[in-house]
Structures are given as C-alpha cells and as structure tokens.
Amino acid sequence: MRIGNFSGFYGDRFDALREMLTGGELDVLTGDYLAELTMLILARDRLKDPSAGYARTFLRQLEDCLGLAHERHVKIVTNAGGLNPAGLATAVRELAERLGIPVRVAHVEGDDLTAARPQALDLARPGGTPIGTLAAHAYLGGFGIAACLRAGADIVVTGRVTDAALVTGPAAAHFGWQPGEYDRLAGAVVAGHVLECGTQATGGNYAFFQEGDVRRPGFPLAEIHADGSSVVTKHLGTGGLVDVGTVTAQLLYETGGGRYAGPDVTARLDTVRLSQDGPDRVRIEGVRGEAPPPTLKVGLNRLGGFRNEVGFVLTGLDIEAKAELVRAQLADALATSPPAEARWELVRTDRADAGTEETASALLRLVVRDPDERVVGRALGAAAVELALASYPGFHVLSPPGKGSPYGVFEDVYVPHGAVDHVAVLYDGRRIPVAPPQDTQPLAPVPEPALPDPLPTGPTRRAPLGLVAGARSGDKGGNANVGVWARTDDAWRWLAHELTADRFRQLIPESAELPVTRHALPNLRAVNFVVEGILGAGVAAQARFDPQAKALGEWLRSRHLDIPEALL
C-alpha cells in the first residue's frame, strides 16, 4: 500500500495536501501536526475557547481538497485533533455536509489524561505562580486508527498518538496485522518515523543540501509491503531528493539507542538496513521488533512562569566594555526585585573596519524568567528604557521589552497501559475499545555492537567534521539528540573510534558538564548522542538560543578535528 505525508508540523506548507493528491497514486495520506510545543499552544487555545484545541489549518486544507480525496479514494489520517479530536471530527462532518461530499469520519480518543490529574487546569492568578497542568496526554498506538479504517472510515482524526502510529494504523488495517506481529509493526514504525516530518526525508534540513535542488522538496511517501518492509520515495517530478543519506538523517532524528519504544512495538533501529532502490527510492528492510514497554509515555505541559528579553545593540569599538557597563547598570537597577533567572549572552557579529553599521555591531541579549509576571515585565522594561541616555555610546535596543509572556514546561511521565481508555469512535457513533498489549517487555539498552577495525594511521589535516560526516539533531523535552553518520565505509571506520562521548563534550562545550550517552548503529554507519538537560525544561521554556537543538548537529559538523587525509 502507498502511504504519503502532507504535513510534518502545525504550519507546514498549506498546498501540500493538494500536491500529494494530484501528484500520483496513493491509498492513504497522513498529516502530522503535533509536537510538544504545539500541545501547549493548543492547550492555551482551549482555555480561551473550550470548543477549540485542534489544528484549524487542517479544516481549511480539507475544504480545498475533500472532493479530490473522495474522488481518488484516498483515505486521510491525521493527529490534527490535538486536544479535541471529537471537536475536529464534528467540524469535518459539518464541512462535508456543507460541501455535499459523502465521507465517513471517525476519531480516536482516550489520550487526554488532563482531567485525571488532581491539579488539572489549576492556573495561576494574575501575578501569582503558574503551577497547574495545562495538558496531560498519553502517546497512543495505531490500533485505534486501524479499527476506524477497518470499519470503513474515510477520514480518521486523532489526538496525541505517536507520530509513527499514523502509518502503523493504516498498514495494520490494510494487511490485517494483529498485536504481536512485532517485526511487521516495527517495519511500519520505521517507515512512519521517516515520513512523519514531511520534507525532512526528501532533502529538507539535509546536511548535504547542495547536492540536489531542495528549494521546494516534494513530500514523501512509503510503499509498504505485507512483511513490513518499505520503499521511501516521492511523487515523480517533485523537488528534493530521496537517497540513503536523507533517510538516514531522518531515522536518526529525535531518537536514542537501538531500541525505539512505542505503545504497540519496540522497533530495533540497530537492525534497519537501507539500500538505494533506484532514483529517489530507498528500500528499508530487516527491521526487527519486540514487545512494547509496560508503560505509556505521557507528555505533561504546564506553565512554568514568565519570561522577557531585551537585545542591546553594541556598535564599533570597546564591545566588551560596553557590554560590561550594561550588565552592571541593570544589575543595580534590578537589585530590589531581581528575577529568579537572568541569562546574558554576547553575540559577536561585529567586524573590524566594517562597511555597514549593522556589520559593525554586536548583540547583547538578556533573557529573564520569574514566577511573577511583574518582575519580568514592567520592572525590566523600566530599567532598560531608563538607560537610553545614560549608558554606553550609541545605545539602542532591537525593540523595547514588552510586558513579558508565559512560558511552558514539558516533562514526561509514564502510566500503565491499562490506565488509558483507548477508544475508536466510528462514524456511526459506535465505540470500539482498543485493548492494551498482551505482552510487554521492559526497555533496556541493546548490547554494545561490534565496531569496525580502526582506519590505519596516516597523515591528517585539521578540518571540519562536516566534510566527512552528516548530522541531524532535535529535542525530546529537556534533552537533545545528535545523530552523526558517515558516508563511506572508511569514514565509518574512523568516525566510530574518533567521535566518542568524551570527544563530543570537547567539541560541544555546552555539554561538558552534562550526561552524554553515545549509541552506535553500525548498519547505518552512525553514532547517536543523547545530551541530557541541555534544553532545560524543554522548547517552550526557551532556555537556550536554539531551544529545539535544531542546529546543534550543524554546530558539531563545523568543529575541527584531525581528519585522515585519505578521507579528505
């Protein structure tokens, strides 16, 4: 069966649904709209309007393409339901009725555990401490989706399922897979993980982006077979590229070790085999699966406090002295009511004897956080603005600090499978409970794999790592992962022994005092690093310049090592 993707996040290319429907043959189209930050955004929407909480963009896309999908017999499966899948399903039915298109809409529910928490929606009073849980959602598997499709649904709307479930559910429904067919399910999980971020599998955000035309990459699709193997490709004539490198990059994205756990199956990433199967075609095979863990992951989003920031522009000479003056002045001004956290960062974008004022300037950023909105709002704004005529020469800021804004905190907790009522709600109103897995297996690291023989010693040259290796990085709560892969067997022989966890800490000083775990994946010629705590309380807390660690891998690739000349 052919399963395509038309959305990798809330805000992805609007016309992708039409592009995928008109570009070639498909059986199912999937749309992934949810991420940790998106759940917080939707939770805040729901606070303002209890009927909200889903991705409204999907409705607008569907209004344009529902008739086309019906005409071409393409089923649509999406997690755009967010915090309110029943509400989105109702809105889709109303849209179909208004357009006169006969479609059967089902939805999956049971992931929302917010009301089950004693302090759910216990929000802060103005100026108080925000301590309540905005949203608590379990990551469900694909068998609720499968039940909806087996009952004849044309559109299936879900809330928080795993991203890969959007693919495993349709595959299980199509091929008749049952719980316990772990190898088949694991193969579909891997295909789903490749598809879930849309054009990241077809050249988007790719380390070697200059090797193809990636100005407008096409969205990916997977040809999935009954044994769980698949071929990742894209519609003929669309932009971008699909090769072993682009698929490897996406496989490493936001993963950890050899075991990739999910609610239906634990996929063994260390068994994945990739091969080029023709132009823009990559075959995925050999994936082994194991019983899932005994617990389900639950994502908690809560308000963590309030933040504000101001950017001081420092131009010309004496940049360091100017920065020190501002720090001292604001420390004095805020001494009576200091924020709980204040972070300064001097970004040296200035150049000597510059030809423009902008290239002669550096940026000094101050980010503050505190449980009390007043501390980071009016107090900071007054202190910064009062310096306008009383500080360093050339004083100005990018923009005056505002009132401050709330920030979120994301954390994982785990509950037994039986604590969640996973239900498929069919288009005719029938409710089908989805049973938890019969067998489970506690998650454990895979044994350390055998590494290739080291590359023979020879002359080396100081050069960037990125000349011989690709990388992709991302976030999971407060942790970041950086997957690094070699493009040749010889480069892998060198990388496997050179890029240790200790070397990683040397190259990425921000990680020097943090736990860093390296996982080797020889089949992919890759090592995957997990850096614990580098993102603080997660993306919504914006504790770091790059709060989702999207560019951490590119920073690593830019660092210089002694690389064998034979590889260069």
Note the pTM of the prediction, 2 decimals. 0.91
Q: Are 266 and 290 in contact (CB under 8 A)?
A: yes
Amino acid identity for residue 535 in this structure: L
Q: Is residue 446 part of a domain?
A: no
Q: Is the pLDDT of residue 414 over 80?
A: yes
- 551 domain-assigned: yes
Residues 310, 278 within the same domain: no
Q: To the nearest 10°, report the CA torsion of 496, 498, 502, 506.
A: -130
Using alpha carbons, list the distances in angstroms from residue 283 to 55, 183, 203, 262, 277. 33, 16, 17, 22, 6
420 shares a domain with 402:
no
Check whether 132 has a pLDDT greater than 70: no
Q: pLDDT tier at 540 (50, 70, 90 boundaries)?
A: low
488/392 same-domain check: no
The answer on 64 and 150 residing in a single domain is yes
Q: Are residues 38 and 170 in the same domain?
A: yes
Range of the domain at 523: 460-567
Number of domains in the chain: 3
Tokens of 214: 């990636």
Query: Is the residue at 273 inside a domain?
Result: yes
Instruction: Examine the domain organization and report whether 153 and 31 are in the same domain.
Output: yes
- Do residues 328 and 202 both lie within one domain? no
Please tell me whether residues 290 and 314 are part of one structural domain: no
- Per the domain annotation, does 120 fall within a domain? no
Q: What is the pLDDT of residue 130?
A: 40
Provide the mean pLDDT of the chain. Answer: 92
Q: What is the pLDDT of residue 131?
A: 47
445 lies in a domain? no
Sequence-distant (6+) residues with CB within 8 A of 440 are 291, 292, 293, 294, 417
Q: Angle at Cα 81 formed by Cα 79 and Cα 83, nearest 5°?
A: 115
Least confident of 139-148, 204-213, 322-331, 543-552: 543-552
141 pLDDT exceeds 60?
yes
Mean pLDDT of the region 443-472: 95
Do 234 and 288 belong to one domain?
yes
Residues 266-282 have a mean pLDDT of 98
> Over the stretch 182-219, which tens digit does the pLDDT of each residue have?
999 999 999 999 999 999 999 999 999 999 899 999 99
284 shares a domain with 326: no
Residue 368 included in any domain: yes
Q: Which of 433, 468, 490 is the last residue of a domain?
A: 433
Question: What is residue 290's predicted lDDT score, i.e. its pLDDT?
Answer: 98
Q: Are residues 153 and 270 in the same domain?
A: yes
Tell me the pLDDT tens digit for each residue of 299-327: 888 888 888 999 999 999 999 999 999 99
**Do 270 and 358 belong together in one domain?**
no
Q: What is the mean pLDDT of residues 249-270?
A: 96
